[in-house]
């Protein structure tokens, strides 16, 4: 109940970040919210990383925000001319006026007159939701036939030795959507709860996120990354059938090949900023079950060199290997060549930095992006392409990953009818 009251309270703010573990154990916060702006920074172009360094590394306060996939970090970025109709800036961070979080069944409030805010929250009324309306049907930028041909072209690059694996994404969109992002977020996380979910607003730009994937978490000097490669539809209704599905994914040669390649890439990224010999694979090919799918997740960790800053970490590891491929620089060139739209905040990262410098960021996937001024609604899906990929199966995997979002949008059509 307190989570819903905090969400309702956030409606008054033009800028906020709500991060939600959706009940998954092992996460530090049940939820974490920052609202109101003491100060902010907008990152743009090649100077964005320097602006972020100036803003973040002298702070000592809570910071929340995002980096777009295209943020130039030295590994690439900058996609002039590609469509990005949602419009999130390359990056954005703010120091909140208020920080609220729940951990160990207790609500914490940081800000001026926290007792007054607590009493306000107790009285916070429920707000009727505005039904989601799609006056224009959702459609894809890429037809199925074009998608299949693109996968074959990417596999030709792999045959030639240009790369080993590439993550290819496509966009679905509507140019005439009206909705209550709070209600859509509640629906999406209700049907597909995931440990790195979030509702995020920067003026007219909204992110409604139900991500299962962590990009990077720093605790003290320890840095961990948990890339996902390997997805299987969850159909089982009892323990035995679920175990059989989990074993099917665990034994998939194609998924194991994808996963081990991204693990090697992450190990290489972390070795650039961690103490020599400290980078290790804590878990390889872990199988985790969520409401809609089973996922293959590995965990890689390392101990940071003392002089390493967050901008150094970004230069080494962003964008994340699970959303690019290997080798990273070459596949980013191919992504730019073959994808029809800029990714924007999709396959970027959303998260927080604590006072003292610890942080946690997700990978922005399984998400809706929305521009409330233009009424443009977008979601993107993708998969890792290898030499073993079957184009038809990759198409089906993309549709599977969008299943929870499609269900929310289908409900809008039915209500409108």
16/170 Cα distance (integer angstroms): 28
ω before 166 within 30° of 0 (cis)? no
Helix (H) / strand (E) element for 410: namely: helix 403-416
Contact 204, 220 (CB under 8 A): no
71/68 Cα distance (integer angstroms): 5
Contact 266, 301 (CB under 8 A): no
Task: From the candidates 27, 165, 213, 245, give the one annotated as an active-site residue.
Answer: 213
Distance of alpha carbon 284 from its chain centroid, rounded? 21
301/146 Cα distance (integer angstroms): 39
Count other Cβ atoms within 10 Å, centred on residue 393.
13
- Quick check: is 340 catalytic? no
Helix (H) / strand (E) element for 2: namely: helix 2-10
Task: From the candidates 95, 165, 171, 229, give the one annotated as an active-site residue.
Answer: 229
ω before 330 within 30° of 0 (cis)? no
For the chain, give the number of residues: 417
- Quick check: is 70 catalytic? no
234/256 Cα distance (integer angstroms): 18
**What are the E-state strand segments in 258-373?**
280-289, 293-303, 325-326, 349-353, 359-362, 367-371
Give the 3-state secondary structure of residue 150.
helix
DSSP labels, 212-281:
--EEEEEETTEEEEE-EEEEEE----SHHHHHHHHHHHHT-HHHHHHHHHHHHHHHHHHHTTB-TT--EE
For 315, phi then psi, to 5°, come to -60, -35
What residues are annotated to the active site?
213, 229
């Amino acid at each position: 109940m307190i989570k819903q009251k905090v969400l309702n309270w956030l409606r008054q703010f033009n800028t906020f970040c709500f991060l939600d573990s959706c009940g998954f154990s092992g996460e530090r916060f049940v939820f974490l919210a920052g609202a109101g702006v003491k100060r902010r920074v907008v990152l743009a172009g090649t100077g964005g990383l320097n602006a972020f360094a100036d803003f973040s590394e002298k702070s000592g306060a809570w910071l929340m925000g995002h980096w777009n996939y295209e943020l130039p970090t030295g590994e690439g970025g900058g996609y002039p001319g590609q469509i990005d109709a949602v419009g999130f800036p390359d990056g954005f961070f703010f120091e909140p006026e208020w920080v609220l979080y729940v951990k160990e069944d207790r609500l914490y409030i940081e800000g001026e007159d926290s007792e007054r805010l607590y009493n306000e929250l107790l009285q916070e009324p429920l707000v009727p939701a505005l039904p989601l309306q799609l006056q224009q049907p959702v459609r894809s930028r890429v037809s199925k036939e074009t998608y299949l041909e693109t996968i074959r072209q990417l596999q030709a690059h792999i045959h030639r030795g240009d790369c080993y694996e590439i993550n290819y994404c496509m966009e679905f969109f509507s140019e005439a959507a009206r909705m209550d992002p709070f209600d859509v977020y509640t629906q999406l996380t209700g049907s597909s709860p995931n440990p790195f979910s979030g509702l995020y607003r920067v003026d007219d730009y909204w992110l409604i996120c139900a991500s299962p994937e962590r990009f990077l978490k720093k605790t003290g000097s320890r840095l961990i990354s948990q890339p996902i490669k390997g997805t299987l539809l969850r159909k089982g209704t009892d323990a035995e059938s679920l175990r059989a599905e989990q074993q099917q994914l665990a034994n998939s040669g194609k998924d194991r090949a994808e996963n081990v390649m991204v693990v090697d890439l992450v190990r290489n990224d972390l070795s650039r900023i961690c103490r020599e010999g400290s980078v290790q694979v804590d878990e390889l090919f872990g199988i985790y079950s969520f409401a809609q799918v089973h996922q293959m997740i590995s965990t890689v960790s390392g101990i940071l060199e003392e002089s390493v800053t967050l901008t150094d970490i970004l230069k080494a590891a962003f964008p994340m290997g699970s959303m690019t491929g290997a080798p990273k620089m070459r596949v980013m060139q191919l992504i730019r060549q073959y994808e029809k739209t800029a990714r924007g905040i999709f396959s970027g990262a959303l998260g927080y930095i604590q006072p003292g410098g610890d942080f946690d960021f997700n990978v922005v996937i399984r998400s809706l992006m929305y521009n409330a001024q233009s009424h443009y609604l977008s979601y993107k899906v993708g998969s890792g392409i290898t030499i073993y990929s079957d184009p038809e199966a990759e198409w089906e995997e993309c549709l599977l990953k969008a299943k929870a979002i499609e269900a929310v949008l289908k409900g809008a059509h039915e209500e409108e009818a």
